[in-house]
Chain A
Amino acid sequence: MARQDPKKDVVIVGLGWTGAVLGMEMAEEGLEVLALERGEDRDTVPDFKYPNIADELKYGIRYDLMQKPSSSTLTIRRTESETALPYRQLGSFLPGDGVGGAGSHWNGHTWRPQPEELRLRSYTIERFGKQTIPDDMLLQDYPVSYDELEPYFDRFERMSGISGQAGNLNGKTIPGGNPFEGWRSADYCMPPLQQTYDATLFADAAKAMGYHPFPRPGAIASESYVNEYGMQLGPCSFCGFCERYGCYNYSKGSPHVCILDALKRKPNFSYKTKAEVLRVELAEDKKTATGVTYFDHRTGEEVFQPADLVILCAYQLHNVHLMLVSGIGQPYDPATGEGVTGRGYAYQMSGGVQMFFKDKEFNPFVGTGSNGMVIDDFGINQIDFAREGFIGGSYISSGVANGQPIRSMPLPAGTPAWGKGWKEGIGQWYGHAMSIGSHGSCMSYKNCYLDLDPTYKDAFGRPMLRMTFNWNENDIRMTQFMRGKMEEIATHLKPDLMQSGFKKEGAMYDVRPYQTTHNVGGTAMGEDPKTSVLNRYLQAHDVHNVFAMGAGAFPQNIQYNPTGLLGGLAYWAAHAIRTDYLRQPRNLA
């Protein structure tokens, strides 16, 4: 028999970025709010303190801040003809763990989608005709427009402390910024960070070729900053320990330095760690939730936590899993195309060109996770989908993030992987390499989805989440297009050696090498309950007192890193809950 705890107004599942934002918004409404976090509690000191956190083996290689597959994982297959197997060793993506979630160990890249990306289906049909859309592609509009979201993007950016350079202020093009971005009501809250040598070389080459380089926007402070909660960031020291690490320098925007100390002061907010939510409990008519059941790892018992409002703020994969095991939304069936929960899982398509220069020294140990110069000349709103034969786009960038000795030691192809030859390679090339990367869209397809695994169960007896995902021709054509453009820029830089890494036709998804932790979809937002789980306020169509934050809401992925969009959506949803839902709880759409 599960323990039952006293009822709360709101229970929040997961205390990362969106959990902290929603916690604050609900607490400011005066509600009794409880956040349940499955991982450990974490804070800058002691958990990220210097120099302990700058331990590449512990955090960069052994993933100390990430979820452990032995306690939580999913199964993965590429095609329906394969048998999905558990993801037993982290590789392709790295879900975060503990208070702060992925906000602890991210790089800080914070983008808004292009306005066209939020209405991609309509935009594609209007511009290029319906026939441009491949049959197997689930191309959908987001049910909310850029103009509606703009104030919430702005709020998230100001809260999380973004350094950058606006390119479009209220429709006016600002030199030095991204001329292809959507309008901004105000400039970034901090000026852009200083750039490293490789980024400067790239930007100069891009400019000479007629492109429009601008500094990458990121949640890395370029100066002292105080946000709306009175929370503070200090200027970055370019130590290069961002991705996979917590920041010891109070410089990287994270739930800890941007929200949590302010939130913890609220007497009506509390949180529990080591509290792993197993399912959302529904009322008999399945139209409302009564609370959640979680496993309390401290006491070793199941707990029923009643609540009037359940807000899922776990990582995208876990939100989808929770909805599937709780019976929220009809599970997607690829055979019939019916059902919505788990439908439209998407990822991110990226590629890179590595260059080696005998006579250039890049000092790669100087860097930040958001370092770099970018061009958006081949972004989604600059591509002729009909002419190029794909729907999508990429931003292209260069700028070293770190020079860590184990994982950031690029060597020319053919260099021995160990021994004398390897040592000679390191001696010759360490610090002499730079790269250009592309970060691009990945559409959703009928045969890429999440469902419950028929074989494997987790420690609580729940079927594991199963991912069926493979690369699709459309996105491979997109990345090959980028390859052409990027190799031109690389050639312009006249390196001594150059090598490219892009998905080629027929490439199969490989879960072993790290690619990106931008897993999206599965709880898509949309107007039509037949093709989406959530409405435009991230509220479950079927269960009105369940809201789900995060990138699961993306009907297909954008070309950018997802945090800016999911952060804006979180404030957008919170606004709807505060100003409308709480007055009259119901389906808002």
Chain B
Amino acid sequence: MKTLMRLVLIGIVLAVVVIAAMVWVPVQHTPAQALTEPGSAITAARGEYVMRTANCMACHTADDGQPFAGGRQIESPLGIIYSTNITPDKDTGIGHYSLDEFRATLYDGLRKDGAHLYPAMPYENLRFMSEADVQAMYLYFMQEVPAVNNKVPETALKFPFNQRWGLRAWNMLVLKEAEFKPVSDDAQINRGAYLVQGPTHCGACHSPRNSLMAQDGVSDEHPAFLTGGDVDGWSVPDLRGKDSVSAQWSTQQMAHYLATGRNDHATSVGEMSLVVEHSLQYLTSEDNHAIAAYLTHLSGSLEAGTLSAESATAPTETERLLTRADPTMSLGARLYIDNCGGCHAVDGRGAAEIFPALDGNALVTANSPTGLIHVILHGAELPSTELRPEALRMQGHAWRLSDEEVAELATFVRQSWHNKASSVSAGVVKPLR
């Protein structure tokens, strides 16, 4: 009995010591990597480009706020997280950060004062960034970004998530070695892999989350990496399966999609439109092609682009049904003709670059119909980009269709042409209005 008591006591003491250490013993910064690109110049201009690849601006700028001055509300499953001010303002921004401290935010999710950032900051991915890119981005923020004095609201999550020291344990369990490992002998594929795994942090949305709510793999050694995730209830598409867009689209089509939010098959929706608007449209054509080449490589597709815009197949049963336009056909089919067919057409193939195909569309057939319902209700808008400046808009139908009608319509498009997704009930529609 005494022995047991002693063991419990020792256990408690040890736990207290560990927790105390977790709270008070300073975290070691992950050290800088070697500068592996000796010939490349480290300039603020390069830093600006790296910033675009990492899309810092999108999260660190509030609606109608100054660039990088923070304060944007980020809806996380744990509650609202306020993005920080990353302008070089000395009081409220990062003006007093050394290069090492700056790197620690990217690699370890650590503030200058040692507090842990919430992993809404994608340091799981950014820690793959090269030292040259880190230094260039540091130069850019310190030299080119105007300092803005803007104190952002302190993030105040509920217990236990307000105990930031807990993230230390999370980090110990989750973080992988901070070094990008080449995936191929092909320089273009490696460049794409570096961008995808590192700065562009595609996995933050496109990978599933594990039981610790961490990304289930941050490089392609992990089988779940980039196999699709979930953002605000929207299913985020798989990027490596044999039915994924990476396998179906040509690298040319994928690169065009990244640069413009549109290609012969699809248009961007939801968060992806913001990524195109704020980040990918600024990438060089070479980098977008590198990303596309890596995704093709990742999908294992030897012959990329099995899908062509013109892929003429025999008319589907749905196409015949809609062409006959018999007034006795189902409500879903009638709603489709009345609301959708003008652009997306009876064959569900739409038109290249402007009306996305609904047949085989990842948003339409996603496990969760949330994204599809959202687009039917509220419409969608493509970002204006340099190559394709038109902010093409689909209008919303919330004012025009009842919950039941939206459910019927969504079910119809999820189960027409070659689509075989589950039905949608009116109850799912109501909360999305």
Contact = CB atoms under 8 A, between A and B. Distances in A.
Given A45-B395, A261-B384, A234 B354 contact: yes
B343 to A, nearest CB: 6
A415 interface: no
A49 interface: yes
A226 B391 contact: no
Contacts of A265: 384, 386, 389
Given A50-B342, A237-B341, A224 B351 contact: yes
A230 B387 CA distance: 6
Given A224-B351, A261-B384, A234 B395 contact: no
Contacts of B351: 223-224, 234-235
A472 interface: no
B353 interface: yes
Interface in B364-391: 379, 381, 384, 386-391
A250 B392 contact: yes
B393 A230 contact: no
Interface string A218-232: 000001101001111
A257 interface: yes
A480 interface: no
Given A224-B351, A261-B384, A237 B343 contact: yes
A232 B384 contact: no
Contacts of B391: 261
B389 A229 contact: yes
B56 interface: no
Nearest to A46: B395
Contacts of B355: 234
A330 interface: no
A262 B384 CA distance: 8
Given A50-B342, A223-B351, A237-B341, A231 B390 contact: yes
A224 B354 contact: yes
B390 A50 contact: no
Nearest to A250: B354
B120 interface: no
A453 to B, nearest CB: 43
B311 to A, nearest CB: 15
A49 B393 CA distance: 9
Nearest to B394: A45
B393 A232 contact: no
Contacts of B283: none
A8 to B, nearest CB: 22
A187 B400 CA distance: 42
Central interface residue in A45, A237, A249, by most chain B CB within 10 Å: A45
B342 A44 contact: no
A199 to B, nearest CB: 21
Contacts of B389: 229-231, 261-262, 264-265
Contacts of B354: 224, 232-234, 250
A226 to B, nearest CB: 7
Interface in A535-579: none
A511 interface: no
A181 B326 CA distance: 44
B390 A224 contact: no
Central interface residue in B379, B388, B390, by most chain A CB within 10 Å: B390
A255 to B, nearest CB: 12
B274 interface: no
B352 interface: yes
B365 to A, nearest CB: 23
Contacts of B388: 226, 230, 232
A50 B400 CA distance: 11
A258 to B, nearest CB: 9
Interface string B343-371: 10000000111110000000000000000
Contacts of A51: 400
Interface in B38-65: none
A264 to B, nearest CB: 8
A50 B395 contact: yes
Interface string A38-62: 0000011110011100000000000
A261 B389 CA distance: 6
Given A49-B395, A224-B352, A232-B353, A237 B390 contact: no
Contacts of A223: 351
Nearest to B354: A234
A257 B343 CA distance: 15
Interface in A139-161: none
A232 B392 contact: yes
A144 to B, nearest CB: 31
A224 B341 CA distance: 16
Contact of A230 (B342, B343, B390): B390
Interface in A497-525: none
A45 B342 contact: no
A335 to B, nearest CB: 53
A239 interface: yes
A264 B391 CA distance: 11
A90 B352 CA distance: 40
A261 B395 CA distance: 17
Nearest to A52: B395
A45 B393 contact: yes
A237 B388 CA distance: 23
Contacts of B343: 234, 237, 249-250
Contacts of A264: 384, 389
A229 B386 CA distance: 9
Nearest to B342: A237
A45 B387 CA distance: 21
Contacts of A49: 395
A237 to B, nearest CB: 4
Contacts of A45: 379, 381, 393-395
Nearest to A223: B351
Interface of A: 43-46, 49-51, 223-224, 226, 229-235, 237, 239, 248-250, 257, 261-262, 264-265
Q: Which 6 A-B pairs have the closest CB atoms?
A: A45-B393, A234-B354, A237-B342, A262-B389, A49-B395, A224-B352
30 contacts: A44-B393, A45-B381, A45-B393, A45-B394, A45-B395, A46-B395, A50-B339, A50-B342, A50-B395, A51-B400, A223-B351, A224-B352, A224-B354, A226-B353, A226-B388, A230-B386, A231-B389, A231-B390, A232-B353, A232-B388, A237-B343, A249-B342, A250-B392, A257-B390, A261-B384, A262-B389, A262-B390, A264-B384, A264-B389, A265-B389
Interface of B: 339, 341-343, 351-355, 379, 381, 384, 386-395, 400
Given A51-B400, A231-B389, A239-B342, 11 more contacts: A44-B393, A45-B394, A46-B395, A49-B395, A224-B352, A231-B390, A232-B353, A232-B392, A250-B354, A264-B384, A265-B384
